[in-house]
Structure 1
Amino acid sequence: MDLPPDDRALSPRTGYTRAHWEAAADALLAAVEPYATADRALYHLPGDRQSWSGRLSDGLEGYARTLLLAAFRRDETALERYADGLAAGTAGVWPEVRHRSQPLVEAASIALALRLTRPLLWDRLDDRVRQRAAAWLGDALTAEPWPCNWELFPVTVGGFLESVGHEPEASRKAIDRGLERIEQWYLGDGWYTDGDGRKFDYYNGWAMHLYPVLHAWLADDAGLLDLYGRRLHRHLTDYERLFAADGAPMHQGRSLTYRFATTAPLWLGALTGRTPLPPGRTRRLASGALRHFLERGALDEHGLLTLGWHGPNPAVLQNYSGPASPYWASKGFLGLLLPADHEVWTAPEEPAPAEGPDAAYPVAPPNWLLQSTTADGLVRLHNHGSEHPDYDPYYSRLAYSTATGPSPSGDNSVLVDGDPSRTAIEPLGTGPGWAASRHTAARGARVTCAVLVRGAVEVRAYLVAGAEAGTEIRVTGWSPPAELRADLTPALGLTGALTGTVGDTPALFVALARLTAEPEPADLSRLAEVSPDGEGGLLVRWAGGGESRMRIEDGRVEVTSGG
């Protein structure tokens, strides 16, 4: 990808400016164009993978998601090509929008793009094409979505159709129904679950906030914008801490192949004036993420986004991931809707939170603890409240980071009788420097987990109850790439092999853990000393002064710190 030279005066940390974002958008659009069908209604990107929806739906996905990029770029030449594709697609090429079908997702991207570019695209179409397009999109108003962020796709289609006067009553009904349904998943402080349960991930930002806020903003609905804007504002207070100093987003949750779509809520806050972040920090975080992926193999030799994270990586894919799925990364270019003289483009970059002092930041709704260290710029997420009912490693492990991904061998787990499963997670609280939860493990065991952190050091404690006497317990830590170092040391109840055995009463196991990029870190055992406190709890003495006390019972954890 041919990008302008770095501008280290305006952007001392990333070097990226608006010109870099424009060049990246142009290059991505140019790279997909050779894969459009002759009528430009479908984009069949190369590769031997096909989603569960099939080739025709995958081709529609290629059209819709790259159209969204052209809309954010406001590229009139590209939009003319997509206008041709719209005319052909709605003349019988595209699959119908049906209940819980992938075309419902793509209809939302098309509708949003048409709404954002109405004078440049929709208003220039032949009336017969507009009628066909409205009719095709109209099926989304009554199509039943999956009970998750999909509820917002009929909202997005309804918002556009209402704005052009097509079936206003049905459009309004779809909007109201979808917005009402997501309320059951809002848990406060800017956080939604992605449907029932406790599935916390990036869908908070690139769906649950993005669609309602954009709808309210485009509809000029002050009441809705106040409601959803306040939620976005609060969410960004936590969200900005999920990015490492090198720009990497947290590697957790599903649909990670959308990559720098993680930047969409950052831009959204600036676009609508609902952000706590200074403009220079917004651009620094967003540009850091874009640069992170572009420099680490996200594009193949043809300039196409691959199915993966850095390069191709099947581990981060789902059954709905097709060749064009990564192009939901287009949402990351939302910032191009801001004019070139907006302060988010003109203000000097400001440091990201991960570039500030060491921090141990609690996030209450998902019951997470975010641990960042200045020495290496890494961010670690200690997970004591997010899970997937089928034990998805990307949701249910005890910890994640901006530099590692879940390993097949069961990293960051407590294994009961060799099984790393962790289900029915019950949050037990989080606070400065700690987080705790209880979960159901193999053979009916209940495991109460707690973590205490300072700097890069982690004290991990596990109280196992309800398991048969003699059951083996094994704990695991980080599984890092070669450039990082991971340590895991037994502290109480564990052998040097990090195993222990359950007795007749609940058994407590404690280990020291660390993930660091420091080339020569201090010996872990010298940074924290763990011992029984004589009152049934734990005493942790930290190197450099200060101590923490933790009382851990079956389903109950108390932590106090001093010094």
Structure 2
Amino acid sequence: MHLPPPDPGLSPRTGYTRAHWEGAADALLAAVEPYATADRALYHLPGPRPSWSGRLSDGLEGYARTLLLAAFRRDERVLARYADGLAAGTAGVWPRIEDRGQPLVEAASVALALRLTRAQLWDRLDDAVRQRTAGWLADALTARPWPCNWELFPVTVGGFLASVGHEVEASRAAVERGLERIEQWYVGDGWYTDGDGRKYDYYNGWAMHLYPVLHAWLADDRERLATHGARLSDHLAAHARLFGADGAPVRQGRSLTYRFATTAPLWLGALTGHTPLPPGETRRLASGALKYFLERGAVDSHGLLTLGWHGPDESVLQGYSGPASPYWASKGFLGLLLPADHPVWTAPEEPGPAEREDAVTGLAAPNWLLQSTRSDGLVRLHNHGSEDVRWDPYYTRLAYSTVTAPTSSNDDSPDNSVVVGGDPGRTGIVPLGVGDGWAASRHTAAGGTAEVTSLVVARGAVEVRAHLVTGAAPGTPVRVTGWAPADGVRTELVPVAGLSANHADVAELTGGTGAGPTLFVALARLTGEPDPAPLEELVTVEVDSAQEVHLQWSDGTRERFELTPRPARLPG
């Protein structure tokens, strides 16, 4: 991909400007064009296909997700090609929108694109094409979505159809129904779960906030924009901390092949005026993520986005991932809706949180602890509240970072785990709170026969990890693992209580349960520093018979934590 020369004056950290974003969008749109059918209704991109979706659905996905990119780019020549595809697709080529079918997802992208480019695209279509398009989209108003972020796809379609006067009553009803349903998943502080349970990941930004805020902004619904905009602003305060200094997002959750779609809520806050971030920081974070992926093989030799993280990588895919799935990354180009003279494009870049300070930030809603270090720009996410066993290992590990990838769920030694009796599972996660530099949770293990209460205390790059195992038979083997290896960083795991290292590679420690509750404690570190001080010099840990953990940091600060009955920081 050929982009303009870097601009170190305006963008001293990434070199990227609006011209780079435009160049990347143009290159991605040009690369997919050869894969369009002759009538331009379908885009059959190369790659493995989900067994359940079908070729027509996959081709529609290619059309819809790249149309969304074209809508953000607003190049009328490109939009004219998609107008041809719209005329053909709605003439019987595209599959119908049905309950819980993939076309419902793609209908939302088509509707949003048409709403954003009404003057350039919709208003120029023949009336017959407009009627066919509205008729095809209208099935989304009553199609049953999966009970998760899918509830917002009828909202997006309904918002567009109401704006053009098609089935207005039914369209408004779909909007109200979908927005009402996601209310039950709002947990405060700018966080939603992606459906029932405790599913926290990037869907908060690229779906749960994106669609309601854009709908309210486009509809000039000031009351809803105030409500959803305030939630977005709250969310961005934490979201900004999920990017490393190199631009990498934390590698946690599902659908990670959408890559720089993680930047969509950053742009959305600037677009609607609901963000706590200064314009230069918004662009720095977004450009950093785009640059991170473009420089690491996200685009192949044909200019196509691959199914993976850097390059092709099956470990980040789900069963629904098809050849065109990565093009939901188009959402990351939302910033192109902002005019060229907007401060988000003209302000000098400002450093992101991981570049400014060492910070340990507790997020109460997902029960996460975010740990970042300025010296190496790494971000670590300690997960004590997010769970979706369908997508293990990207939900159920104790920690994730911007530089490491979780090991396979079939791996004998899964990273960042407590393995009780040979069972690496972590289910039934119960958040037990976050505080000043700590987070805790409880989960079931050993096939449900044991319970593990876990506490992490973080300071700088140092982590103290404590695990209290109850309910296991005496002598049950326990393994505690640390960070997975990664290029350019150092991973450490040092035994403190109940554990020992059996070999030079201390990424795994072993121990065994006693006759009652047994406490296991280790020091861990993930760092990009070439020669860090030994962990034992930075913190001293002692454990007493009351299942309390006593810490003394190198600056003399003392802390005391109780593991039973519920982890908590004690005075003194």
Give TM-score scaled by structure 1 length: 0.98
- Counterpart of 1:338 in structure 2 is 338
Task: Give, as a single letter, the amino acid of the residue that structure 2 aligns with 1:559.
Answer: R
Following the alignment from structure 2 to structure 1, what is the Cα–Cα distance between the partners of residues 514 and 545?
A: 20
Following the alignment from structure 2 to structure 1, what is the Cα–Cα distance between the partners of residues 170 and 478?
A: 57
SS in 2 for 1:345: helix
Following the alignment from structure 1 to structure 2, what is the Cα–Cα distance between the partners of residues 496 and 3?
A: 49
1:37 corresponds to 2:41 = no
Structure 2 matches for 1:360-399, cutoff 5 A?
A: 360-390=360-390, 392-399=392-399
What is the CA RMSD across the aligned residues, in angstroms?
Answer: 1.1
1:502 corresponds to 2:510 = no
Following the alignment from structure 1 to structure 2, what is the Cα–Cα distance between the partners of residues 12 and 206?
A: 27
Following the alignment from structure 2 to structure 1, what is the Cα–Cα distance between the partners of residues 64 and 379?
A: 34
Task: Give, as a single letter, the amino acid of the residue that structure 1 aligns with 2:518.
Answer: A
SS in 2 for 1:146: coil
Structure 2 matches for 1:245-394, cutoff 5 A?
A: 245-390=245-390, 392-394=392-394
- Counterpart of 1:20 in structure 2 is 20
Following the alignment from structure 2 to structure 1, what is the Cα–Cα distance between the partners of residues 166 and 23?
A: 36
1:131 corresponds to 2:131 = yes
Instruction: Name which of 412, 415, 440 aligns with 2:416.
Output: 412
Instruction: Name which of 543, 546, 554 aligns with 2:554.
Output: 543
SS in 1 for 2:394: helix
Following the alignment from structure 2 to structure 1, what is the Cα–Cα distance between the partners of residues 226 and 154?
A: 21
Instruction: Name which of 465, 468, 478 aligns with 2:483.
Output: 478
- How far does residue 270 in structure 1 lie from its aligned partner after superposition? 0.2
- Counterpart of 1:559 in structure 2 is 569
Following the alignment from structure 1 to structure 2, what is the Cα–Cα distance between the partners of residues 488 and 33?
A: 50
Instruction: Name which of 528, 538, 541 aligns with 1:517.
Output: 528
Following the alignment from structure 1 to structure 2, what is the Cα–Cα distance between the partners of residues 401 and 181?
A: 32
Task: Give, as a single letter, the amino acid of the residue that structure 2 aligns with 1:516.
Answer: T
SS in 2 for 1:214: helix
Change (3 A) 1:62 1:449: same
CA contact (8 A) 1:411 1:477 kept: yes
Following the alignment from structure 1 to structure 2, what is the Cα–Cα distance between the partners of residues 210 and 390?
A: 24
Structure 2 matches for 1:116-265, cutoff 5 A?
A: 116-265=116-265
- How far does residue 91 in structure 1 lie from its aligned partner after superposition? 0.3
CA contact (8 A) 1:403 1:480 kept: no
- How far does residue 482 in structure 1 lie from its aligned partner after superposition? 2.6
- How far does residue 50 in structure 1 lie from its aligned partner after superposition? 3.9
CA contact (8 A) 1:97 1:103 kept: yes
Q: Please give the per-residue CA displacement for 1:147-173, whole angstroms capped at 9, x wherever unaligned.
A: 000000000000000000000011011
- Counterpart of 2:506 in structure 1 is none
Please say which of residues 179-188 and 48-57 is displaced more in the overlay: 48-57
Change (3 A) 1:314 1:391: closer
Following the alignment from structure 1 to structure 2, what is the Cα–Cα distance between the partners of residues 206 and 83?
A: 26
- Counterpart of 2:505 in structure 1 is none
SS in 1 for 2:439: strand
CA contact (8 A) 1:155 1:176 kept: yes
- Counterpart of 2:401 in structure 1 is 401
- How far does residue 537 in structure 1 lie from its aligned partner after superposition? 1.1
Please say which of residues 40-49 and 158-167 is displaced more in the overlay: 40-49
Instruction: Name which of 438, 442, 465 aligns with 1:438.
Output: 442
CA contact (8 A) 1:536 1:551 kept: yes
- How far does residue 519 in structure 1 lie from its aligned partner after superposition? 1.3
Please say which of residues 236-245 and 516-525 is displaced more in the overlay: 516-525
- How far does residue 535 in structure 1 lie from its aligned partner after superposition? 5.5
- How far does residue 545 in structure 1 lie from its aligned partner after superposition? 2.6
Counting aligned pairs with the same residue, the percent is 74
- Counterpart of 1:528 in structure 2 is 539
- How far does residue 391 in structure 1 lie from its aligned partner after superposition? 6.6
- How far does residue 48 in structure 1 lie from its aligned partner after superposition? 3.7
Gaps of 5+ in 2: 503-508
Following the alignment from structure 1 to structure 2, what is the Cα–Cα distance between the partners of residues 154 and 363?
A: 31
Following the alignment from structure 1 to structure 2, what is the Cα–Cα distance between the partners of residues 291 and 48?
A: 26
Task: Give, as a single letter, the amino acid of the residue that structure 1 aligns with 2:220.
Answer: D
Task: Give, as a single letter, the amino acid of the residue that structure 1 aligns with 2:567.
Answer: V
Please say which of residues 52-61 and 538-547 is displaced more in the overlay: 538-547
Task: Give, as a single letter, the amino acid of the residue that structure 2 aligns with 1:337.
Answer: L
SS in 2 for 1:60: helix
- Counterpart of 1:492 in structure 2 is 497
- How far does residue 47 in structure 1 lie from its aligned partner after superposition? 2.1
SS in 2 for 1:225: helix
- How far does residue 480 in structure 1 lie from its aligned partner after superposition? 2.1
Q: Please give the per-residue CA displacement for 1:417-453, whole angstroms capped at 9, x wherever unaligned.
A: 1111111111110012100000111141010000001
- Counterpart of 1:451 in structure 2 is 456
Q: Please give the per-residue CA displacement for 1:459-506, whole angstroms capped at 9, x wherever unaligned.
A: 000000111111111100000213211000100111223111111210
Following the alignment from structure 1 to structure 2, what is the Cα–Cα distance between the partners of residues 83 and 313?
A: 34
Change (3 A) 1:231 1:75: same
- Counterpart of 1:6 in structure 2 is 6
Q: Please give the per-residue CA displacement for 1:40-80, whole angstroms capped at 9, x wherever unaligned.
A: 00000112444530111010000000000000000100000
CA contact (8 A) 1:423 1:439 kept: yes
Structure 2 matches for 1:103-122, cutoff 5 A?
A: 103-122=103-122
CA contact (8 A) 2:254 2:391 kept: no
Following the alignment from structure 1 to structure 2, what is the Cα–Cα distance between the partners of residues 348 and 522?
A: 36
CA contact (8 A) 2:47 2:322 kept: no
Following the alignment from structure 1 to structure 2, what is the Cα–Cα distance between the partners of residues 244 and 480?
A: 17
Structure 2 matches for 1:77-96, cutoff 5 A?
A: 77-96=77-96
- How far does residue 389 in structure 1 lie from its aligned partner after superposition? 3.7
- Counterpart of 1:423 in structure 2 is 427
- How far does residue 513 in structure 1 lie from its aligned partner after superposition? 0.4
- How far does residue 525 in structure 1 lie from its aligned partner after superposition? 2.1
CA contact (8 A) 2:48 2:322 kept: no
SS in 2 for 1:194: coil
Task: Give, as a single letter, the amino acid of the residue that structure 1 aligns with 2:441.
Answer: S
Following the alignment from structure 1 to structure 2, what is the Cα–Cα distance between the partners of residues 179 and 252?
A: 26
SS in 2 for 1:276: coil
CA contact (8 A) 2:243 2:379 kept: yes
Q: Please give the per-residue CA displacement for 1:282-308, whole angstroms capped at 9, x wherever unaligned.
A: 000000000000000000000100000
- How far does residue 533 in structure 1 lie from its aligned partner after superposition? 5.1
Please say which of residues 542-551 and 98-107 is displaced more in the overlay: 542-551
Following the alignment from structure 1 to structure 2, what is the Cα–Cα distance between the partners of residues 203 and 187?
A: 14
CA contact (8 A) 1:148 1:196 kept: yes
Change (3 A) 1:397 1:469: same
CA contact (8 A) 1:247 1:288 kept: yes
CA contact (8 A) 2:298 2:310 kept: yes
CA contact (8 A) 2:389 2:395 kept: no
